[in-house]
Amino acid sequence: MFDRVPLIDVGALVDGVSGRAARRSVAERIGAACRESGFFYVVGHGVGAGLQAHLETLSRRFFALPVDEKMAIRMARGGAAWRGYFPVGGELTSGRPDRKEGLYFGSELGPEHPLVRAGTPLHGPNLFPEEPPGLREAVLDYMAALTRLGHSLMEGIALSLELEDDYFATRYTADPLVLFRVFNYPPGPGTAEDGRPAWGVGEHTDYGVLTLLKQDSAGGLQVKSRDGGSVRWVDAPPIDGSFVCNIGDMLDRMTRGVYRSTPHRVLNRSGRDRLSLPFFFDPGWSTEVRPIDAPALAQASAPEDSTERWDGRNVHSLQGTYGDYLLGKVGKVFPELRTQVL
């Protein structure tokens, strides 16, 4: 059981000049956090404050538009690429509508890209709004910066498992599946009509390897800490200039449960809009994610924990590619869209 999310300065992993000892010492701290909670804050990450502030300003401007203007780029128009806007209540993370609206983005891929030509779901061009101008460039710059950071952190995670630092890049993330979302959680009642909490995002784990979340100052993110039968929800409050980093189901699978993909949820109690920007750095679509054969994981047992898991699934018994896994998940959180576009 943990009671806080640790903060790690990852400068040595991203600065391009630090030596092996400094990189390993950061990696060890990451490894400890992945084992304990699956969550950590990163600072010293090198992503420009100006770029972040610019994207935040433009995102707020977009969400402030009338809903019918936002619906001009609704997700149904993005087709199988799964891009665009969804209104409050349009996404069901754990079977119930979330109290949030959002924009879905991903790697910007043109019609000539082989995966787009083959009609691969979740691959294609983005839908950018006309208003506010500049959002397109800000989103693309931000995704490029976070993709670089994702590669650096995966090197740290590899080092933390005593693997070569390019272990994940050579097998899974040389061409990562990048999904990026900008969410706005409106202020509102803490409870739904049936008296249950009106979650901004219901309890879930993330699907891929690594999530990098930028959150504004509103707060509301909670991480599940568990010890046997007892559960405690630990706050991950905003820390200026940091990203909240958490590992996803595929890293849980690769490490046979040693690095946990930890359930989390959001309740916006701030009384104002909450803006958050989760960036998902995931294995390539057609990769088959396998357990890592490494001495550091020799004792790992791949727990059969499906009854404890939020979705009742066991990530250790998956068959197929990451794309298959992701599609199963995405179809559940957007049931209407699934029938329209897939």
Ligand X SMILES: O=C(O)CCC(=O)C(=O)O
Q: How far is the CB of 19 from Fe ion (least distance, A)?
A: 34
Q: Which residues bind Fe ion (CB under 5 A)?
A: 206
Residues 13/151, Cβ–Cβ less than 8 Å: no
Q: How far apart are CA 258 and CA 206, in angstroms?
A: 16
Q: Binding of ligand X at residue 120 (CB under 6 A)? A: no
The residues in 276-295 that bind ligand X, with binding defined as CB under 6 A, are 276, 278
In the set 37, 264, 292, 318, which binds ligand X (CB under 6 A)? 264
Q: How many CA atoms lie within 13 A of 280 on its CB side?
A: 23
Is residue 99 a contact point for ligand X (CB under 6 A)?
no
Q: Which does 213 bind (CB under 5 to 8 A by kind): ligand X, Fe ion, none?
A: ligand X
Q: What is the CA radius of gyration of the chain?
A: 19
Q: Looking at beta carbons only, is 276 or 287 nearer to Fe ion?
A: 276
Residue 183 touches which member of Fe ion, ligand X, none, C-beta under 5-8 Å by kind: ligand X
Question: What is the Cα–Cα distance from 110 to 112, expressed in whole angstroms?
Answer: 5
Choose among 326, 328, 332: nearest CA to 91: 332
Residue 227 burial (C-beta neighbours within 10 Å; 0-12, 13-18, 19+): exposed
Provide the mask over 172-211, with x wherever binding to ligand X is found by CB under 6 A and - wherever it is not.
---------x-x-----------------x----x-----
Distance between CA 33 and CA 213 in Å, rounded? 16
For residues 191-210, one letter each, b for 16 or more C-beta atoms within 10 angstroms of the residue's C-beta and e for the rest, the string is eeeeeeebbbbbbbbbbbbb
Q: Which residue is nearest to Fe ion (CB)?
A: 206
Kindly state whether residue 262 participates in binding ligand X, applying the rule CB under 6 A: no
Tell whether residue 149 is a contact of ligand X (CB under 6 A).
no
* Residue 215 engages ligand X in binding (rule: CB under 6 A): yes
The binding site for ligand X (CB under 6 A) comprises 181, 183, 201, 206, 213, 215, 221, 264, 266, 276, 278
